[in-house]
Structure 1
């Protein structure tokens, strides 16, 4: 099979994150509006091309005040930088469905390389004859490397917001 375009299936996909809050728990959130463009030959996955674009204004932590703050210049500065983008630069097989996915991620105008632990499953036929594959990727980014340094000291010591952001991505695609 030659490289072909794959259509992103938003109904079966999600992007979530978590960050340490007050050094005692984690706040979880998601982005509700995002898109992925992929061209791939399932027989030669390392050659795939992939770009993910996330609408910063779709951030959802189940707290409107916090979501508004995340969109402000203290964090994502959504007015000036409305999107987070990820573009694949390398994909290395670790055996079976396991891969190391490396790409350039741009947040608030700053671009850094990140590597995510990734599982790629498929291709497989669904009950209607469509060919599909799925990607599950996870890892962490250091928010201060992207200029997202807002924080507050706690009376008992420590800080309000952790620096490590854990990300979890699940994407499904249908062959065009």
Structure 2
């Protein structure tokens, strides 16, 4: 095979996150608007895959309009100055079977840092209509303060309002172009 373009199937894709709140629970959220450009040869994914994911930071959704507004503010994503969160892959290492280690440069609020995610790449497989599909699941944790997202509040009982570790859960489905 040769390197092919893969188009994101948004209806079967998600980008979710969670963060510790008040040191007692996890608050979950998602980004509802994102794009992905992927090229890969499925016979040599680790050696040929190239991906860029662009997330509209203003599409953050935690099911709380006030919190979402705060996340869009200069305290966090500063969407007026930095409307997009961007991940550009730099390395994909096979760990055997469908397991991979995906490294890339992540830019949030104008700060770019390398991140490594654990990934599973499934497929390709044909759907009932003859389209070739591929799935990517990726998980990892990043430290929000490394991206300049340092806003917080102290709690009367000790501790902080918002944890530093952000857990990511990404599910993407692609169709061969």
TM-score (norm 1): 0.99
- What corresponds to 2:98 in structure 1? 97
SS in structure 2 of the partner of residue 103 of structure 1: strand
- What corresponds to 1:24 in structure 2? 24
- What corresponds to 1:5 in structure 2? 5
Q: Please give the alpha-carbon distance, in whole angstroms, between the structure 2 residues aligned to 1:52 and 1:31.
A: 12
- What corresponds to 1:108 in structure 2? 109
- What corresponds to 1:174 in structure 2? 175
Q: Please give the alpha-carbon distance, in whole angstroms, between the structure 1 residues aligned to 2:103 and 2:139.
A: 11
Once the 2 structures are TM-superposed, how far is the Cα of residue 169 of structure 1 from its aligned partner? 0.4
Q: Please give the alpha-carbon distance, in whole angstroms, between the structure 1 residues aligned to 2:176 and 2:166.
A: 32
Q: How many residues align?
A: 176
Q: Please give the alpha-carbon distance, in whole angstroms, between the structure 1 residues aligned to 2:157 and 2:6.
A: 51
- What corresponds to 2:146 in structure 1? 145
Structure 2 regions of 5+ residues with no counterpart?
none
Once the 2 structures are TM-superposed, how far is the Cα of residue 5 of structure 1 from its aligned partner? 0.4
- What corresponds to 1:136 in structure 2? 137
Q: Please give the alpha-carbon distance, in whole angstroms, between the structure 2 residues aligned to 1:95 and 1:137.
A: 15
Once the 2 structures are TM-superposed, how far is the Cα of residue 98 of structure 1 from its aligned partner? 0.2
Once the 2 structures are TM-superposed, how far is the Cα of residue 166 of structure 1 from its aligned partner? 0.2
SS in structure 1 of the partner of residue 45 of structure 2: helix
- What corresponds to 2:57 in structure 1? 56
Structure 1 regions of 5+ residues with no counterpart?
none
Deviation sequence 1:11-32 (CA, Å, 0-9, x none): 0000000000000000000000
SS in structure 1 of the partner of residue 67 of structure 2: helix
SS in structure 1 of the partner of residue 80 of structure 2: coil
Q: Which runs of 4+ in 1 moved over 6 A?
A: none
TM-score (norm 2): 0.99
